[in-house]
Structure 1
Amino acid sequence: MTAVELVGVAGSLSLLAGWRLYAVALAAGLWARFGAGMGVPAPETLAVLGHPLLLGLAGLGTLAEFFADKLAWLDSLWDALHTLIRPLGGALIALAVIGPADPVWQIAALLLGGGAALASHAAKAGGRALINTSPEPFSNIIVSLAEDGLTAAALWLVAAHPEWAAALAGMLLVATGVLLWLGWKLLGRLLPRRSAAPPS
C-alpha cells in the first residue's frame, strides 16, 4: 500500500472505532488473516489482530456491543464505560496500521487515531443520549441498526478499496464534526434556559 492509503486506512479505522471498536478490531483481524487469499491483502502490520485469541475477544465484544447498543440507556451506560477504551483502541489500531518502520508517522498515527476515535465516540454517545430522551424505544433501535450497517459498509470499503480510504476518512471526519455540532445545538435547545435574575 502507498503511504496515502495507509494513512487513509488508519484514519478510517480509528474513526469507525469510536462507533464500534470491537467490530473494527474483528474486521481488521479477519482482513489480516484471510484478505490475502481473497485478493485484498491487509497491511502486514495488522497481522497481530488476526491471532485467534484476539479474534475471539473481538467477536465476543462485537456480540455484546450489538445487543447493548439496542437498549435505551444501556447503550449510554456502555458508551460511558468506553469513553477511554474506544479512543485508546482507535489509537492502537492506527498505530498497528502504520507499523514500526517509520516511528514519526507511528506517533502521529497514535495521536491522531486516538483523537479521531474520541471525536466519533463523543458524537455517537452524545447523539444517543439525546435520542434516549424519546419515550418510544424504536428510534434507538433504528439508529443503532443504521450505525451497524454504515460501519459494516465502511469496513468493507476500506478492505476492498484501500485507495478510497483517505476520502472515506475525510467524509467520516466531516460527518463526525456535523454530528457534534448538531448535538451541541440540540442540547442547547433542550436544556432549560436560566431565567434572568430579578432586579434588586
Structure 2
Amino acid sequence: MIDALSLGAGLSWASGLRLYLTVFLVGVLARFGIVHLPETLSTQSSGWVIGAAGVLAFFEFLADRIPAFDSLWDAIHTFIRIPAGAVLAAGSLGHADPVLLTVAALAGGALAGSAHLTKAGTRALINLSPEPFSNWVASSTEDVLVCVGLALALFAPLVFLVLMAGFLAFAMWALPRLWRGVQGGFRGMAAHMVSRLGSIGGKRD
C-alpha cells in the first residue's frame, strides 16, 4: 500500500508540473522493466504512448522557456494536468474498491492541482520581470524536480511521502501569497500603462 500511495502521489504531483515528461519517464522505466506498474497503468509502457509523450514533452520544454507564452501554456493545461493527475492516481491502486478509487482520484487531482497552481503562480510572477534568465532557471529547476521526485516516489516511497506532506503544507501557505502577488503585479502593470498612455496623450496636446 505504501508503494501504491507513493506511486499515485508521485504521478499526480509530477503531472501538475510536467505531465508529458512524467508519462514519458515512467513509460520508459516500465518498458525496460526497471519499474513494475499496476495492470491499470500498463498502457504507459506502450510504444505509442511513450512516443507521443516524448514529442509533447519536447514541445513543452520549448514552450515553457518562452516568457509570457509559458503562462498561456499553463492556463490551457489547467484542464489537462489536473484530470490526468486524478486518473493516474486512481490507476496506481490497480483494481481496488470503487470508493477507494474515487478517493484516490480526488486526492490525485488535488495534489496535481496544488503543484500546477504553485508552478503557474510562480511563473506568472517571474514573467512580470523583463529579463528572460529567471524563466529559464525556473523551468530547468522544474524539470529536475520532476526527475528527482519520480525517482524518490518509485524507489524511496517513505521519503517521498514525507516530502509530499511538506510540499502540501508549503503550498497551503504559498498559494494565497502567490495569488496576491500576481494580482498586485498586474495592477501595477495596468497602472503603468495607463500612466504612459496619459503622458503620450499630453505630449500630443
- Specify the TM-score bucket, using the shorter chain as the normaliser: 0.7 to 0.9
Give the aligned length. Answer: 187
Q: Deviations over 1:155-192 (max 9, x none)?
A: 11112223433223223323333431331342355345
Work out whether 1:50 is the aligned partner of 2:50. no
Q: Name 1:132's counterpart in structure 2.
A: 127
1:155 aligns with 2:138: no
Partner of 2:99: 104
Aligned to 1:195: none
How many Å separate the matches in 1 of 2:30 and 2:42? Answer: 5
CA contact (8 A) 2:44 2:50 kept: yes
Q: Answer with 1 or 2: which has the greater Rg.
A: 2
Who is 2:81 aligned against? 86
Instruction: Tell me if structure 2 keeps the 8 A contact 1:31–1:159.
Output: no
Give the gaps of 5 or more residues in structure 1. 193-200
Structure 2, unmatched stretches of 5+, are 189-205
Q: 1:31 to 1:164 in 2, by over 3 A?
A: farther
Q: TM (normalized to structure 2)?
A: 0.83
Contact 1:19/1:124 (<8 A) preserved: yes
* Percentage identity across paired residues of the two chains: 39
- Equivalent of residue 120 in structure 1, options 115, 118, 121: 115
Would you identify which runs of 4 or more consecutive aligned residues in structure 1 move more than 3 Å? 40-45, 187-192
Give the structure 2 partner of residue 15 of structure 1.
13
Which amino acid letter does the alignment assign opposite residue 119 of structure 2?
Answer: K
Q: Aligned partner of 1:20: which letter?
A: R
Q: How many angstroms does 1:139 deviate by?
A: 0.8
What is the TM-score when the length of structure 1 is the normalising length? 0.85
| Cα root mean square deviation, aligned | 1.9
Q: Secondary structure at the match of 2:78?
A: coil
Task: Tell me which of 11, 15, 23 is aligned to 1:25.
Answer: 23
